Amino acid sequence: MRHSILFLLSLALAIEVSGCNSAPGKPGPESKVLPPDKILNFDSLYQQNCAGCHGAQGSGGAAIGLNSQVYLAIADDATIRRVTAEGVPGTAMPAFVQSSGGMLTDQQINAIVTGIRTRWSKSNPTDFAPPSYAALTPGDPKRGAEAYATYCSSCHGNEGRGGSRAGSIVDQSYLSLVTDQYLRTIVIVGRPEIGHPDWRGDVAGKPMSQQDVSDVVAWLSAQRPKIPNQLSSSANSSEGGTK
Amino acid sequence: MRLVQQLGEWFDERLQLGRTLREVMEHPVPRQTASWWYVFGSAALTIFVFQIATGILLALVYVPSGAEAWNSLQTLNQQIAFGWFIRALHGWGSNFMLAVVLIHMAQVFLFGAYKFPRELTWIAGVFLLLMTLGMAFTGQIMRFDQDAYWGLGIGASIASRVPVFGPALVNLMLGGPIIAGATLSRFFALHVFVIPGLLIAFVGLHLLLVLKLGVNEWPMPGRIVRRATYEREYHELIQRDGAPFVPYAVWKDIFFSGFILLCIAACALLLGPFGPSGQPDPTIIQTAPRPDAFFLWIYTLLSYLPPAAETPIMLIGPVIGILVLLALPFVAGEGEKSWRRRPIAVLTILLIAVALGTMTQLGEHTPWSPVMDAWSSDPIPTEYLKGRTPLEHQGALVFQAKQCHNCHSLANDGGKRGPALDSVALRLTNDQLIRQVIQGGGNMPAYGKNLSAAETTALVKFLETLHPPGQEPARDASRGVAVGAIEEQPSPKQR
């Protein structure tokens, strides 16, 4: 009798001890809350700072998808680091590094850049040869109009004023909010997750050439309003501009 | 076994406590009170003893110093075997103790147990409640994390509103003009010596009164309490229908206390210890501190108070509340005990429970407070971006970059400070959206100076897409005439 009680007690203790070591409530090493400037974990950093615009897993947000293989192929680490740290003036991309008025340290910016590369870069850049990130030669607006008609007008409509499948890209407000580099990147990378093909998919079997991209961007850039931010013009364009 | 008995006899010969103890244990209680409704007081006492035990274990490791406290909690959580478990037991024990004390109090109120001659028992109980709350608040400070730091800040700023004595009170509370090491030492002394000492004294008084006056009989509708006759009636009841507390009634108390302890252990094992959250560093502004569960209702109340009412309600409200509790047995010391004949008492309990529950729920979600990182961490749902124009995509980016998301939710993500915008296009026309964005209004600040014309246009274009499919967005019927577009859409009558 006494032995069985002792046995039961030691059994209960053993269950208790082994249970405690793997109990769901046991705080793991990651439970220690770090000061915000000491967080170097990519998932936390990306979730807190980038996911809002670039999407929870690097795509599907309002801004360009960072997990796009094409984007990762054309943008090198120095570019991603510069854009992340200093932002892109004139667009919605803010500066994130402390020296430019953001909240992140240089180490944290590095962690984000490395994280984006190692987490999402899967393909070998030599598998496909996209046009370069920066324009190699200046574009020509006249040839750009022709390239536009070939590659883009099936969706964005005649002269870019919007078609049945995509909206206007010559809207004055739109062009005021994007840089030439943004236009170039979006033409090359596209937004496949929301239906915009990359540079290869505009016309089947006929990818845009390096020069085509530069020309289309030059054509769009030429239509940017000379004096941006006119409130009166915006009030009119808000109703008529995109139609 | 014989040795134990001999030892016991040896001590009792000298202490002569055995007889008293036996009398205490076998004191007669009305048979009907051996009920599951009468177990909360003993459960509260059990948890209190449990809290003392786990508290002592924690105090062996905890360093009550501003610089070391947070680290010593990390040591407890990570390095000391079962340190996290003891912390979890103590934290959950605190929650359970407050819950059981509140249930006990509600039960005593509904069963009329505070009425003559048990007024003093009730008053001691009120002080026990205040001390339990004091233990919970000071215990939250012991965690010395961001929640503790800002909780202290709020406590100090309430104290500073006391007329004339405010600054002196803050100084007394914080041990100086700011929250520092001295503050923690002070609250450690309160949490470990002062309040527990008082608690033990008042628990003693409370128990003594229960023994002297007897357990409240089961309330029967129509059995009226009268000062002149109650004690005789109670005595007769005990004579007629009494039973010794041990063993007749005690087993339910033991069972329930054991059950509560198991619940605490289960919560501790499954859900773990509370915090600590970030380090108590006032230079860290990326923080959203909030009080522990039992103070969330105060958090909500303070958030919703109009500014002019803050000081009077903060300072006079608690005084009135405590006075009402203390005056209760004197105002309603006689009469019906049964809750079946006391509708106002039942309604009071329901009202308080619903109010506290609602305010706690609100405190959980803090709809009054912007979510400061929603703009950069809560994406706009992809469905809201598919099939939109490039300008509308830019508008979505403006929505994030200008931090609209911090106050306005989309698909339930983001702040609740302003209205959800999932169907804003049904409510506001293009002109109204532009006006609201530029000029603000209601609680919304004006964004006119922070947005370029292009940004405003893009943002409003995006907002105009926010309506359920199949429902037409709001439109200004005169707009077509004004811009001369009416010819494009001739109405059927004109044809």
Residue B191 and residue B108 share a domain: yes
Residue B399 and residue B279 share a domain: no
pLDDT for position A8:
66
pLDDT at A241 over 80: no
Residue B246 and residue B102 share a domain: yes
CB distance A89 to A49 below 8 Å: no
pLDDT for position B282:
86
Residues 6 or more apart whose Cβ sits within 8 Å of residue B308: none
What are the tokens at A155? 């969706």
Is there a domain that residue B135 lies in?
yes
Residue B418 and residue B302 share a domain: no
Contact A238 B460 (CB under 8 A): yes
Is there a domain that residue B2 lies in?
no
Is there a domain that residue B240 lies in?
yes
Provide, as residue numbers in chain B, all residues whose Cβ is less than 8 Å from the Cβ of A168.
Answer: 389-391
Q: How many domains does chain B have?
A: 2
> What does the mean pLDDT of chain A come to?
85
pLDDT at A238 over 50: no
Residue B262 and residue B164 share a domain: yes
Task: State the pLDDT confidence band at A95, using cuts at 50, 70 and 90.
Answer: very high
CB distance A208 to A151 below 8 Å: yes
Average pLDDT (A34-57) is 93
Provide, as residue numbers in chain A, all residues whose Cβ is less than 8 Å from the Cβ of B270.
Answer: 23-25
Is there a domain that residue B483 lies in?
no
Last residue in a domain, options B365, B385, B410: B365
Provide, as residue numbers in chain A, all residues whose Cβ is less than 8 Å from the Cβ of B385.
Answer: 60-62, 194
d(CA B117, CA B215): 11
Task: State the pLDDT confidence band at A233, using cuts at 50, 70 and 90.
Answer: very low
Nearest to B277 among A26, A33, A176 (CB): A33
Residue B246 and residue B268 share a domain: yes
pLDDT for position A232:
38
pLDDT for position B344:
95
Nearest to B393 among A23, A50, A62 (CB): A62
Measure the CA dihedral B231/B236/B237/B243, to 10°. 110
What are the tokens at A6? 């002792």
Size of interface A-B (CB pairs under 8 A): 178
Is there a domain that residue B219 lies in?
yes
Last residue in a domain, options B333, B365, B397: B365
What are the tokens at A24? 């769901």
Residue B389 and residue B275 share a domain: no
| pLDDT digit string, tens, across residues A112-156 | 999 999 999 887 666 678 899 998 889 999 999 999 999 999 999
Residue B387 and residue B289 share a domain: no
- B448: distance to nearest CA of chain A, Å? 10
d(CA B385, CA A152): 20
Residue B65 and residue B188 share a domain: yes
Extract the residue ranges of chain B whose pLDDT is less than 70: 485-495
Q: Which residues pair with B335 in a beta bridge?
A: B225
pLDDT for position A11:
63
Domain of B455, in residue numbers: 374-475
CB distance B408 to B420 below 8 Å: yes
Task: State the pLDDT confidence band at A195, using cuts at 50, 70 and 90.
Answer: confident
- Nearest residue of B to residue A19 by CA position? B269
pLDDT above 70 covers what percent of chain A? 82
Q: Tell which of B77, B270, B375, B391 to mutate to test the A interface (max A CBs under 10 Å).
A: B391
- Nearest residue of A to residue B280 by CA position? A35
Residue B427 and residue B328 share a domain: no
d(CA B427, CA B387): 22
pLDDT for position A185:
94
Contact B270 A23 (CB under 8 A): yes
Is there a domain that residue B325 lies in?
yes
Looking up residue B49, the CATH number of its domain turns out to be: 1.20.810.10
- A123: distance to nearest CA of chain B, Å? 25
Residue that is written with structure tokens 């109120």 in the block: B109
Residue B109 and residue B68 share a domain: yes
Q: Give whole-number Cα distances, B152 to B67, B148, B420, B442, B484, in Å.
A: 16, 6, 33, 32, 63
Contact B88 A25 (CB under 8 A): yes
- Nearest residue of A to residue B79 by CA position? A29
d(CA B6, CA B224): 50
| pLDDT digit string, tens, across residues A12-37 | 666 665 655 678 889 888 888 888 89
Looking up residue B455, the CATH number of its domain turns out to be: 1.10.760.10
Q: Is the dihedral of CA A133, A136, A141, A143 positive or negative?
A: negative
- Nearest residue of B to residue A53 by CA position? B379
Nearest to A231 among B82, B380, B453 (CB): B453
Contact A62 B399 (CB under 8 A): yes
What are the tokens at B52? 């003392």
Contact B461 A237 (CB under 8 A): no
Structural domains in chain A plus CATH codes:
35-125 (1.10.760.10), 141-234 (1.10.760.10)
Contact A24 B389 (CB under 8 A): no
Q: Give whole-number Cα distances, A117 to A20, A75, B379, in Å.
A: 39, 10, 21
pTM for this entry: 0.85
> What's the distance, Cα to Cα, between the start and end of chain A in Å?
91
Q: Which helix (H) or strand (E) holds B305?
A: none
What are the tokens at A109? 């910016």
Task: State the pLDDT confidence band at A230, using cuts at 50, 70 and 90.
Answer: low
| pLDDT digit string, tens, across residues A152-190 | 999 999 889 998 889 999 999 999 999 999 999 999 999
Q: What is the ipTM of this complex?
A: 0.86
Last residue in a domain, options B365, B389, B405: B365
Residue B246 and residue B113 share a domain: yes
What are the tokens at A101? 């008025």
User: Which parts of B177-287 are beta strand (E)?
Assistant: 242-244
What are the tokens at B53? 């035990």
Is there a domain that residue B88 lies in?
yes
CB distance B401 to B446 below 8 Å: no
Is there a domain that residue B409 lies in?
yes
pLDDT for position A1:
54
